[in-house]
Structure 1
Amino acid sequence: MNNILQENERALWILKTRGPQPLSVVAEALNITVEGARFQLLKLSSEGLVEATNVAKGRGRPQQIWALTQKGNGRFPDSHAELTVRLIRTIRETLGDDALQAVIESSKKVGLDKYLQATGQETTLEGKINKLAETRDAEGYMATWEKDGEGYMLIENHCPICVAAEVCQNFCSAELETFRKVIGEGAEVHRVDHLLAGARRCAYRICPKG
């Protein structure tokens, strides 16, 4: 998804995937000088895409932390958001909630079949998580995974259906159910961060049972 950004906007990608960061971290990630990173961020700030806040740390000088604004987050668009929302509302108003739930269930089945096919050759929990993350990333979720103690974290830094999910949160419930079926009965899957609850991302902790 980072190919939607111009070269001079790579800082947006960093702040999207890593969350708010100090200038030095942005500079290191961009592999440029601190002054070069400052120049980029100030330019993005003048366009309303990022903003800085001062965070006090101990007795020293406050540290400047850079983060995306709402407009900056908008550079990572939802997939056909306006059309999707209109269709959801039309189904609900003309056919009722049961019909909308039937559509969600059908969509869930298509997604489940796709993810099961992607992970079907994997015999380990880590292998399944890796393939699931790869598939979700290709769908625009900016998905990654990492070890987390005895388990794993599946992290999605973007939600390309966020606007639709805001209108009908059953999409989110269906998503969690799908992940649990894909991972299988040998592990537990819990959503620990949720965009619609105010977090900057969605994240799932996956732990082997027992």
Structure 2
Amino acid sequence: MEIVTDTDLPTRQRVARSILVNGPSTAAALAERLDLTPAAVRRHLDQLIADGSVEAREPRSAGSRGRGRPAKVFALTEHGRDGFEAQYDDLAAEALRFLSETAGPDAVRAFAERRATFIETRFPAVAAAHPEASPAEVLAMVFSDEGYAASVRELPVVGEQLCQQHCPVSHVAHEFPQLCEAETEAIGRVLGTHVQRLATIAHGDGVCTTCIPAATPDKKEQVTT
């Protein structure tokens, strides 16, 4: 039986964080990303699986591979995400319950909208600091600065997807979806277009994804001015 030492913990945390930031990953991808040997990565993955922080999944694209069994991907479990969550989730949820009971659902909605103002408040400054970035990429920077580990994925013809590998308020948003709704509306306002949330960590999905449709020339001009 292998003995786990304290010196292993920083590397194991790097493995877990890499999955958090980049999404479900194969052992080979983790080894390359972290400059570790495949054997070392698998040792840490085995320990993360044993303590319930990571689970192995069959890849969605398994049918597209040729010979051989497709490599499994490793994803964080809810328990694994807990290690990265902000503290005081229970206190925040209790406070929102009290607000809902004493002031009504409109008060919760108002709180959610106020919290989401960071999106519109920070967008202009980040855009000015990164003129080479697209509006969606600027949004990813804004969300990443707030702890969402966000990135942008291009979708041919359709547009782009804003992907958030982490949500610091996911536990509270599970009970109060107004938080997600307010963020989505703020994203739409800052981009000047309708966007659609396709998945949220708060509802059990692995990643929060927001579809940003391809802009027409008029809309592109409107966003950049």
Q: State TM-score, norm by structure 1.
A: 0.80
Separation (CA, whole Å) in 1 of partners of 2:45 and 2:198: 30
Task: Note the alpha carbon deviations across 1:77-111, whole angstroms, 9 max, x for none.
Answer: 13531221011001111222232223233334x33
Flag the structure with higher strand content. Answer: 1
Structure 2 counterpart of 1:66? 74
User: Is 1:134 paired with 2:141?
Assistant: yes
Choose which of 6, 27, 33 in structure 1 pairs with 2:31. Answer: 27
Cα distance change on mapping 1:124 and 1:100 into 2, 3 Å: same
Separation (CA, whole Å) in 2 of partners of 1:138 and 1:174: 18
User: Is 1:204 paired with 2:220?
Assistant: no
What is the 5 A alignment of 1:81-160?
81-108=89-116, 110-118=117-125, 121=128, 126-150=133-157, 151-160=159-168
Percent of residue pairs bearing the same amino acid type: 29
Structure 2 counterpart of 1:168? 176
Cα distance change on mapping 1:95 and 1:36 into 2, 3 Å: same
3-state SS of paired residue (1:27):
helix
Separation (CA, whole Å) in 1 of partners of 2:187 and 2:70: 41
Task: Note the alpha carbon deviations across 1:118-158, whole angstroms, 9 max, x for none.
Answer: 35648989532222211110100011123322422211111
Cα distance change on mapping 1:29 and 1:68 into 2, 3 Å: same
Cα distance change on mapping 1:131 and 1:59 into 2, 3 Å: closer
Identify the range of structure 1 (28-37 vs 135-144) with the bigger mean alpha-carbon deviation: 28-37
Q: How many residues align?
A: 203
Cα distance change on mapping 1:27 and 1:177 into 2, 3 Å: same
Separation (CA, whole Å) in 2 of partners of 1:74 and 1:8: 15
Separation (CA, whole Å) in 1 of partners of 2:96 and 2:35: 44
Separation (CA, whole Å) in 2 of partners of 1:53 and 1:122: 39
Task: Note the alpha carbon deviations across 1:14-40, whole angstroms, 9 max, x for none.
Answer: 222333333222222222221121122
Alpha carbons 1:188, 1:209 under 8 Å: kept: no
Cα distance change on mapping 1:149 and 1:125 into 2, 3 Å: farther
Separation (CA, whole Å) in 2 of partners of 1:50 and 1:84: 26
Q: Which amino acid is 2:50 matched to? A: S
Identify the range of structure 1 (116-125 vs 92-101) with the bigger mean alpha-carbon deviation: 116-125
3-state SS of paired residue (1:205):
strand
Give the deviation of 1:176 after TM superposition.
Answer: 0.8
Q: Which amino acid is 1:46 matched to? A: A
Give the deviation of 1:74 after TM superposition.
Answer: 1.2
Alpha carbons 1:111, 1:178 under 8 Å: kept: no
